């Protein structure tokens, strides 16, 4: 029992540090030595608990990333905006709030989106997991939420593209933080994040609203 406990603690610490480092600098730039040092355990622990480096990376997705994505989706579904209305505007606002302000700490959110962008732009086995278990079901769900308002006659692809576009903004304003800060001159404090949510909601509702 004590052994299991210690075992678990080491595994947990390794997963935590591995996720943070992989998110920050990517799989290849991070060494097992660095991860174990950060987790205050021995070099051999990664191989003992996770067989090898690659499997540790996958386990980060299985044990951390996917559950967190589910929490985010749950938060979105239960948010008051969605509970009170399922208009496209409400959906956009719910999405933006959940993913920009939602239940995650700043660090956790940052890690989450960094890992996602890495996988989107350079898919590994982890994307298989993520696409099948998280993304496809969620976008399908979003598309069906949009259908009543957009039009029952409309093809599914149109709804999917709408959902992907809302998500594109959410993703972008999370991962391109440094560039957005550089271009707008604004730091990602609570005020600015609030404005971003408002902007994404508004842009999704009416686009540029003219001509």
Partner DNA sequence: GTCTATAGCAGGATAGAC
Partner DNA sequence: GTCTATCCTGCTATAGAC
Positions touching its own copies (CB under 8 A) are: 24-29, 87-90, 92, 114, 117-118, 120-123, 127, 131, 135-136, 139, 146, 149-150, 157-158, 160-162, 164-165, 167-169, 171-173, 175-176, 178-180, 182-184, 186, 195-196, 199-200, 202-211
Residue 78 binds which of DNA, its own copies, none (CB < 5-8 A, kind-dependent) = none
Q: What is the footprint of DNA within residues 97-126 (CB under 7 A)? A: none
Residue 119 · residue 126 · CB < 8 Å: yes
Q: Which is nearer to its own copies, 73 or 165 (CB)?
A: 165
Nearest to 135 by CA among 156, 154, 119: 119
Which x/- pattern, by CB under 7 A, does the window 33-72 give for DNA? xx------xxxxxxxxx-xxxx------------------
Give the Cα separation of 33 and 39 in Å (integer).
10
Q: Which is nearer to its own copies, 41 or 88 (CB)?
A: 88
Smallest gap from Cβ 105 to its own copies, in A, equals 19
Q: What is the dihedral of CA 126, 128, 132, 136, to 10 degrees?
A: 90
Residue 33 binds which of DNA, its own copies, none (CB < 5-8 A, kind-dependent) = DNA
Smallest gap from Cβ 48 to DNA, in A, equals 4
Residue 41 binds which of DNA, its own copies, none (CB < 5-8 A, kind-dependent) = DNA
- Burial of 19-32, coded b for 16+ CB within 10 Å and e otherwise, reads bbbbbeeebeebeb
H-state helical runs in the chain: 2-25, 32-38, 45-50, 53-60, 66-78, 80-84, 88-96, 106-121, 125-130, 136-150, 156-175, 177-184, 190-206
Q: Which is nearer to its own copies, 10 or 138 (CB)?
A: 138
Cα-Cα-Cα-Cα dihedral sign, residues 153, 133, 69, 125: negative
Q: Which is nearer to DNA, 7 or 156 (CB)?
A: 7
Residue 27 · residue 56 · CB < 8 Å: no
Smallest gap from Cβ 11 to its own copies, in A, equals 26
Nearest to 11 by CA among 53, 69, 56, 52: 56
Q: Which residues would be at the binding site for DNA (CB under 7 A)?
A: 3-4, 6-7, 9-10, 30-34, 41-49, 51-54
């Amino acid at each position: 029992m004590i052994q299991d406990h210690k075992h678990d603690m080491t595994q947990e610490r390794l997963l935590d540090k591995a996720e943070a480092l992989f998110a920050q600098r990517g799989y290849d730039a991070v060494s097992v030595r660095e991860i174990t040092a950060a987790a205050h355990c021995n070099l051999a622990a990664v191989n003992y608990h996770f067989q090898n480096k690659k499997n540790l990376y996958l386990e980060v997705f299985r044990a951390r990333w996917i559950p967190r994505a589910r929490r985010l989706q749950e938060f979105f579904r239960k948010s008051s905006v969605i509970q009170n209305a399922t208009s496209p505007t409400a959906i956009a606002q719910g999405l933006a709030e959940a993913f920009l302000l939602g239940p995650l700490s700043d660090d956790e959110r940052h890690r989450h989106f960094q890992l996602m962008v890495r996988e989107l732009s350079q898919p590994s086995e982890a994307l298989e997991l993520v696409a099948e278990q998280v993304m496809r079901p969620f976008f399908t769900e979003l598309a069906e939420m949009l259908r009543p308002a957009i039009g029952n006659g409309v093809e599914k692809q149109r709804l999917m593209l709408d959902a992907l576009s809302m998500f594109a903004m959410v993703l972008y304003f999370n991962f391109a933080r440094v560039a957005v800060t550089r271009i707008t001159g604004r730091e990602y404090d609570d005020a600015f994040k609030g404005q971003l949510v408002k902007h994404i909601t508004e842009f999704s509702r009416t686009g540029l609203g003219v001509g």
